[in-house]
């Protein structure tokens, strides 16, 4: 059985790690280089870096900061934010990223997924999807949740897979930062639909929340931020707790 992955996420703006609730009300959470080093040392399976203001500010992700973090860690490193071209993806991979995460630009130009997957391989492409429930349907948003789209979560995730995505990172905007748990039924439906891994994001507040999304929600990995950044549930404590529930994680 493939081990479930635990992935801390660094949401970065202005060179600092931040965290909010439902994508707003951001507060400082520390230096991303220091945090990345700590999570690698603590036994995180991977690290995700998201430049959350790059798309809104219409600029490229800060590759220099990515390079600094990459030098300090020895675990797989996914980088996203403002990636709108094959060239931009290539620069981040050169800077030390192991995978790139595309979101808003891919919704606008789905061919971006095909291009990156064709050039670098599907294993290098994570498609991040931010969605919220509107009139009973999961509607995809872009630009850090600021813009609603006409796309629906399940059809967009399936299209992303068919275009070459290696995994889907789905964040529930309704649950993000609330620490009230994940929408497990939605994750389970997504996992049943797709043949590629699904990473759950948005809502982790306890070991039990993460255990549920990895079991009932059928997610292949759980991504979290607040509980790690503020040392509420350190990675080693979380992994030992999950092992105690008979969930296969690497210690």
End-to-end CA distance of the chain: 15
Catalytic residue, chosen from 11, 45, 176, 220, is 11
130 is catalytic: yes
Instruction: Count Cβ atoms below 10 Å from residue 24 Cβ, excluding itself.
Output: 11
Q: What is the DSSP letter of 152?
A: E
42 is catalytic: no
Instruction: Count Cβ atoms below 10 Å from residue 232 Cβ, excluding itself.
Output: 15
**Beta-bridge mates of residue 206:** none
- Calpha distance 44→32 (Å, rounded): 15
Catalytic residue, chosen from 45, 51, 130, 209, is 130
Q: How far is CA 248 from the centre of its chain?
A: 20
Query: How far are the Cα atoms of 11, 55, 163, 170 from residue 52, in angstroms, in the given order?
Result: 6, 7, 24, 15
Residue positions annotated with a catalytic role: 11, 130
């Amino acid at each position: 059985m493939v081990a479930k992955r635990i992935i801390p996420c660094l949401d970065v703006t202005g060179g600092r790690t931040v965290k909010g609730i439902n994508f707003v009300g951001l507060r400082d959470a520390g230096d991303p280089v220091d945090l990345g080093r700590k999570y690698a040392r603590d036994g995180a399976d991977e690290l995700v870096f998201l430049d959350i203001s790059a798309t809104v500010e219409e600029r490229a992700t800060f590759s220099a900061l990515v390079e600094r973090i990459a030098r300090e860690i020895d675990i797989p490193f996914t980088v996203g934010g403002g990636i709108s071209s094959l060239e931009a993806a290539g620069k981040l991979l050169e800077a030390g990223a192991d995978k790139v995460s595309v979101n808003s630009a891919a919704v606008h130009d789905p061919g971006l997924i095909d291009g990156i997957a064709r050039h670098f391989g599907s294993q290098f492409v994570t498609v991040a999807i931010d969605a919220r429930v509107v009139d009973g349907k999961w509607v995809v948003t872009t630009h850090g949740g600021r813009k609603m789209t006409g796309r629906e979560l399940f059809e967009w995730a399936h299209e992303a897979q068919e275009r070459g995505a290696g995994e889907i990172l789905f964040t529930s905007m309704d649950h993000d930062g609330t620490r009230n748990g994940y929408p497990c039924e939605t994750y389970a439906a997504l996992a049943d639909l797709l043949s590629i891994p699904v990473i759950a994001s948005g809502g982790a507040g306890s070991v039990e929340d993460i255990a549920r999304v990895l079991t009932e929600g059928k997610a292949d990995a759980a991504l979290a931020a607040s509980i790690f950044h503020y040392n509420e549930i350190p990675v080693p404590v979380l992994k030992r707790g999950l092992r105690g529930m008979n969930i296969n994680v690497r210690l």
